[in-house]
A and B are shown apart, each in its own frame.
Chain A
Amino acid sequence: MADFEPRIVAFLCHWCTYTGADLAGTTRQQYPPNIRVIHLMCSGAVDSIYILKALIDGADGVLIGGCHPGDCHYQTGNYKARRRVAILKGILTQMGFTDDRIWLRWISASEGKLFADTVTRMTEELRKMGPNPMKQLWNA
């Protein structure tokens, strides 16, 4: 397992977390290169199909980054994303998939450090968990 490098697919909202990731870069924060970022306009645009497709097709974890509650550029997109993620995680738990591989986090445009820390922590956690079993199901 020593050479296992987790692969994280991240769906980041344009107004907060994506800009926060940008800030992490411009302020030269170091974080693991295990993350692949997909730029969306709002965390509320994340359908559960994006998350599952990523997990079934090879990701070890999915990070959804949005504005802090109350700060959504579109007023309520992040609150809706939160319910959607909770529903999906609830379903997966019911189906016996209890791994904590889907992270929803609020990271604002000014929190470059928090973004770097989050990615670092998530990479560590996933490394501990090992490869995502869902991506290996031959009959999925």
Chain B
Amino acid sequence: MAKQTVLKVSEGRTEETLKVFLRSLLEKGVIHSLLIPKRLPSGDGFVQSLIHSPDKMDGTSVLSMTMPVQSARIASNLSIKNLHKRVGAVLKACEIRAIVELTKFLQVKLDNLILIGVDCPGTFEVSDFAKMVLEGKDGERLTQEILKNMEKGEPASPQGYAFRTACQICEYPIPAADIHIKLFGYRAEEAIGLEIGEKLEKELEEKGISFSSEDQLPSRKDVVDKVVAERSKKRDLAFQEFRSVVKDLPSFLDRFSTCIRCHNCMVACPICYCKECVFRTAVFEHEGDQFLRWADRKGGIRMPTDTLIFHLIRMSHMVTSCIGCGLCDSACPSRLPVATLFRSVGDKIQKMFHYVPGRDVQEVPPVATFREDELKIESGAL
């Protein structure tokens, strides 16, 4: 059983209290290093940082308001080859869900990773956040504001800004982690919830990291349910809207006509892990004459080619495991709704196999398993 506790916040400084707790993990040797977002010196953004020395915790932020990279990729880099000491990683819910998927594909080893998940109010586009800071909506004050509103499950973006689309429609704000920092339903200036998983419960006690009390606020469930319900509603609306725009392949190609084939969505995607991607092989380096044959057959072709096959193949490879972090959206220079595409299509495909990506490392991804008595040819699925 996981241990439910409460972390008392001193002088209303929530982030500081959390930092003291995380620092104690470093100081007491629970972890060798800590992966945590750190505020840029300019203050207008965050980057992930790997911190070993407790006195380098200055400027780190448990509740960073942007997600410049999917930390599942960092977790993969860190853990896949020879990670002999424990690393704690402060992560958003979608980053943990991506880690769960990558673990199934043997791209992350969880042995020496301690996942520290934080309730997620949503994140802002990196450029939006920088602009907010420039306009004086200072990062720290903004964080305070959002923390305050999380008590009632109503994290709001400042006037004129919005959370990333993927965050607005994300129905998984609560992470499943070894250490879970709970913010929804808590008055963050007084106390926040902590759940210590079995992996660490005893060890923390032995190493003298103790907590004030053991209780759970009864109102939290309602607050979380409300957030999930609101986001699910938005998600369904987004799907509906998208499906009304993309009715067939021509309307899809119209909507995606500004795709410049940069492959950024693929590079940003935590699920696209192949070391050698087919789109970067000679398969897509066509001969000059091939282009002419296409142009000849169709009368004329759009250049560069291969938009449709790129998106369809990428989908067929990753859509069962798409966890909806939306970093593909953020990475798209043409601002195409790639995340909504993958989520909307993925939703139905995942349901076909009753699969929820990122839910549990014990589950096998649909592409790696089968059932003998499914998908009969007569069923029309084939």
Residues of A that sit less than 8 Å from B by CB: 48-49, 52-53, 56-58, 69-70, 76, 79-80, 82-92, 94-97, 102-106, 133-134, 136-140
Contact assessment for B301 and A83 in the assembled complex, using a CB-CB cutoff below 8 Å: no
Contact assessment for B319 and A87 in the assembled complex, using a CB-CB cutoff below 8 Å: yes
User: Contacting chain A: which of B10-18, B208-216, B248-256?
Assistant: B248-256
Contact assessment for B252 and A96 in the assembled complex, using a CB-CB cutoff below 8 Å: yes
Residues of B that sit less than 8 Å from A by CB: 246-253, 257, 278, 294, 297-302, 305-309, 312-313, 315-317, 319-320, 344-345, 348-349, 352-353, 366-367, 370, 372, 374-375, 377, 381-382
What are 21 sample pairs from A and B whose C-beta atoms fall under 8 A apart? A48-B316, A49-B309, A49-B316, A52-B309, A56-B308, A83-B366, A87-B352, A88-B316, A90-B381, A91-B345, A94-B349, A95-B345, A96-B246, A96-B248, A134-B249, A137-B298, A139-B253, A140-B302, A140-B305, A140-B308, A140-B309
Query: What is the CA–CA distance of A134 and B298 in the complex, to the nearest angstrom?
Result: 11
* Partner pick for A91 among B301, B316, B353, B381, CB 8 A cutoff: B316
Q: Write the chain A residue with the least CB distance to B320.
A: A87
Q: Write the chain B residue with the least CB distance to A85.
A: B382
State whether A79 and B251 are in contact (beta carbons under 8 Å apart), knowing that A87-B366, A138-B299 are contacts in the complex.
Answer: no
Q: Write the chain B residue with the least CB distance to A140.
A: B308
Contact assessment for A91 and B375 in the assembled complex, using a CB-CB cutoff below 8 Å: no
- Candidate in A76, A79, A86, A102 with the most chain B CB atoms within 10 angstroms: A86
Contact assessment for B307 and A140 in the assembled complex, using a CB-CB cutoff below 8 Å: yes
Contacts of B302 in A (CB 8 A): 138-140
Minimum C-beta distance from B47 to chain A (A):
35
Contact assessment for B319 and A86 in the assembled complex, using a CB-CB cutoff below 8 Å: no
Contacts of B381 in A (CB 8 A): 86, 89-90
